[in-house]
Amino acid sequence: MKPRTTGVCSKSAEDNAARWRRDFPLLSTRSHGQPLAYLDNAATTQKPRQVIDAISRYYKTGNANVHRGSHDLSNRATTAFEQARSTLARWLGIDNAATLIWTRGTTEAINLVAQSWGNTHIKPGDRILLLQSAHHANIVPWQLLAQRTGAVIDVIPLQDDNNVDLDAYRRLLQRTPKLVALTHVSNVLGTRYPIKQMCRDAKSAGACVLVDGAQALPHFDVDLSLIDCDFYAFSGHKLFGPTGIGGLWGRQDLLESMPPWQGGGEMIEQVSFTETRYAGLPFKFEAGTPNIAGTMGLSAAINYLQKDRTAQEAQEQMLMHHALSACSQVPGFQALPGGDQPAALFSFLLKGFHQQDIAHWLDQKGIAVRAGHHCAMPLMQSLGLPGTVRASFAFYNTLDEAERLALALDELISSQQSQIDVPTVTAPTLNTDPVYDANHWDERYRALMQLAEQVERLPASLQQPEHQVPGCESRVWLITALDDQGRLACRADADARILRALVTLLLQRINGLTPAEATEVDLEAMLASLDLQRHLSPSRGNGLLAIVRHLKTFARSPHS
């Protein structure tokens, strides 16, 4: 790795990071005995004391339901609740706060539009235009709408550099879609799309436009008065605010014409058993008791961001570029292109390593990243990838953390190169003692990774969907069979090394047994003895249990 850049800029960046980090209590914790390097900010950000204190203060001194009470405490809660809405509206360039609807987050906001506006306006044969790199939250609600209405979905492709293909986009607009659902910033690639231009083009084609802003607002200010969209959705927990709160902005005329999507208290003006008159904006779309404390926390987060926004954005860009520069020196490292003006995140591959194995290795080093398809499976399919590792930065990250990421990846490469080259052998002759004899998890992890390299792989002809075990975080193929003596002779493979090793251990315990004998083997206890649950992600642990259930089901099934 190249030495860190020195000078005034670097010193200033480190001073800023140190100042900001003091506001985030969780960042001082440790993970697996290492200082935590939290590089999973695109999934959710950490929360400053100001946000935590605002939520605590509400529950300690102002807890009451809003809009409905006739007492002082409720009036004060209502005032603070609506002030939070006004704070967000001003920040987003919204001139009428009543057009800002509280939701649980981006997903609920998009579903609100799909259910209310979509059910009213989309008819059979209408076209819905989606972006290739969209998050599932900006795909699935529109698929459900298309299924309900008979609409047709078209997809805007990306170029090789992962910028949007604007020529293809304009050709698709010639089909006069009723709805165009866009993404401001890709949660996988970091690509910042030309949203103003795309919205103008869509409006010129007569389309209604929704923008998913979940990954944009954490990184830069957005003035909705300058974006010609009809709806803008966002989440608070990515904005250094609490979970369970977010918002939908919509054009006033559209919102007023849309029917409620949920019924109950708060969203009504008058109810009888023969007729209900609905409340005006924003309450028509806010049935039930809202997340009052969440709005207080989100308002505090916005107030916090507004103090140093320019410096924070510059810090994030510097960190991302520094991390990319350091990681690019690691053999086999490949970052996916992020377009012309990427936000502070990147997805990458490491030649010869499955993304889940990489993330697990980094986790043991105290580095939190995200691995998988990132809720963007159509994008991964278009790229021909099962998934990637994603490192995403916030202003409170440091140069040291960026360099720790590169160093850990380099150590992973070195750890595999230093292993003894053992010829591929079949499962019955494998020596699995190092796995069971390991004194600590690092030693066991290395033994598992080395075991995976010795396991005979399934041929491609058997790595087919019909043999894939559902419920696994990685792809696992399991061939259940009996030999000519009626004993288990199962085979398995996985694209992640650690799962390949673990499923090999499972098969080693039951292969050669009769089905009746296999049902008596406590595979869960064997896995527990390896202390896996503390070190594997819940989804990966659940995947292992899914494999165990699959094996037991086969052993218990009738065999002719």
Cα-Cα-Cα-Cα dihedral sign, residues 225, 227, 230, 232:
negative
Q: Helices in 22-48 by DSSP H: which ranges?
A: none
End-to-end CA, the chain? 61
Instruction: Name residue 50's amino acid.
Output: Q
The CA-CA-CA angle for residues 449, 450, 455, to 5°, reads 95
Residue 347's SS3 state is: strand
CB atoms within 10 A of CB 505: 19
**What DSSP designation does 219 have?**
T
The CA-CA-CA angle for residues 379, 381, 127, to 5°, reads 60
Cα atoms in the Cβ-side hemisphere of radius 13 Å centred on 556: 9
Judge contact between 396 and 46, C-beta under 8 A: yes
DSSP for 93-150 reads T-S-GGGEEEESSHHHHHHHHIIIIIHHH--TT-EEEEETT--GGGTHHHHHHHHHHT
Judged on CB neighbours under 10 Å (0-12, 13-18, 19+), 65 is middle
Question: Which position has the token pair 């360099």?
Answer: 403
**Can 375 be counted among the known catalytic residues?**
yes
Distance CA 121, CA 149 (A): 10
**What DSSP designation does 152 have?**
E
Distance CA 288, CA 270 (A): 15
Query: Quick one: angle between helices 441-454 and 355-364, nearest 10?
Result: 160
Judged on CB neighbours under 10 Å (0-12, 13-18, 19+), 95 is exposed
DSSP for 510-537 reads HTTS-HHHHHTS-HHHHHHHTT-TTTS-
- Quick one: three-class SS letters along 249-302? EECHHHHHHCCCCCCCCCCEEEECCCCEEECCCCHHHCCCCCCHHHHHHHHHHH
Judge contact between 480 and 550, C-beta under 8 A: yes
Distance CA 5, CA 18 (A): 18
Beta bridge partners of 492: 478
Distance CA 116, CA 259 (A): 6
Instruction: Name residue 41's amino acid.
Output: N
Q: Which of 208, 229, 327, 375 is catalytic?
A: 375
Active site residues: 375
